[in-house]
Structure 1
Amino acid sequence: MRNKQIELLVGVFIVFGFFALAYLAIQVSGLAFSDKKKSYQIVARFDDIGGLTARAKVAVAGVTIGSVESITFDKELYVALVKMNIDQDVDNLPIDSSAAILTSGLLGEKYIGLSIGAEDTFLSPGEEIYDTQSALVLENLISQFLFNSTTGEDK
């Protein structure tokens, strides 16, 4: 009888562990069980997105205010078109704000950081941020450093 209680307790513990692991995986992946906040969409064009993905965060001063909805290729301008969903309560982004693709830490995830402008008029749904800064790609920096240092002449 004592053996069956231990087996039952171990079984409950394993089932609880699986549920905890599934919940943690869903939270880390960016999916959520809660309802989505109301949002509006703005767009920005970048020359190089450098690994930015859909559902990446959009932040101002380190505070998440939205997420990347989709990334497509603009065939006319040959750039990446990024659509962002911004939380409805953040309705005071000036039209001269700028967007940059940043990295969390040295090799962390990519996200969009918005820098606030100084204009008195605000971005409306569907409008575009024109001042953008593409991602800093580590591989490009390393190759530039290697090729510039080996091809340069010593003086």
Structure 2
Amino acid sequence: MTNRKIEFMVGLFVLAGILSVLYLAIQIGGARFFGRDSYTLQARFSSASGVNAGSRIEIAGVRVGTVKKVELNDKFFAIATLELPKELSLDDDTIASVKTAGLIGDRFINLSPGGSGFPLEPGDTIVDTESALDIESLISRFALGGIDEPSE
């Protein structure tokens, strides 16, 4: 009888371990099985370099959403599709900026809410955007003498 009890306890322990690993995998992977109340907006950038699907969206340093996809439109602008929670209402003068976390960190989109009083509807496009500072081009311009010096 004690052998059966030990096998039962080991079975429960293994089952709890498998469930724990599955839970952690889902949490880390960001998978969702039930739909979250969210809506999408688009942001038009001249360059969205470093921003990919899954990149975070922040307001005042707080993560509020994720980037669903980034694609090129027919006028050669990068269009980022942003997924935001329903309770977050943004005005049409919101500014979307591509920022870098740290000196060489990953890129994310920072939203600076406006105050116009005209809310963006799901599917609308944020046109007030700032692309990331391209350090490589600045260094190459400086190294190759592309920066104009003031005339005397």
TM range (shorter): 0.7 to 0.9
Identical aligned residues as a percent? 30
In the comparison of the two structures, how many residue pairs are matched?
Answer: 137
CA shift, 1:111, in A, is: 0.4
Range that drifts further, 112-121 or 32-41: 32-41
1:139 correspondence with 2:136: yes
CA shift, 1:80, in A, is: 0.7
CA shift, 1:125, in A, is: 0.3
**1:26-75 deviations in whole A, cap 9, x for unaligned?**
72xx5346645221010011111121110101111011111101111112
2:86 match: 88
CA shift, 1:122, in A, is: 0.8
Q: Scaled by the length of structure 2, what TM-score is found?
A: 0.75
Provide closer, same or farther for how the CA distance between residues 53 and 122 of structure 1 changes in structure 2, counting only shifts above 3 A. same
CA contact (8 A) 1:50 1:136 kept: no
CA contact (8 A) 1:57 1:68 kept: yes
1:46 correspondence with 2:45: yes
| RMSD after superposition | 3.2
CA distance in 2, matches of 1:117, 1:151: 36
Q: Scaled by the length of structure 1, what TM-score is found?
A: 0.74
CA shift, 1:145, in A, is: 2.1
Q: Structure 1: which 5+ residue stretches go unaligned?
A: 1-11
CA contact (8 A) 1:65 1:87 kept: yes
**1:96-154 deviations in whole A, cap 9, x for unaligned?**
0110000110111110001111201111101111101112222122212212379869x
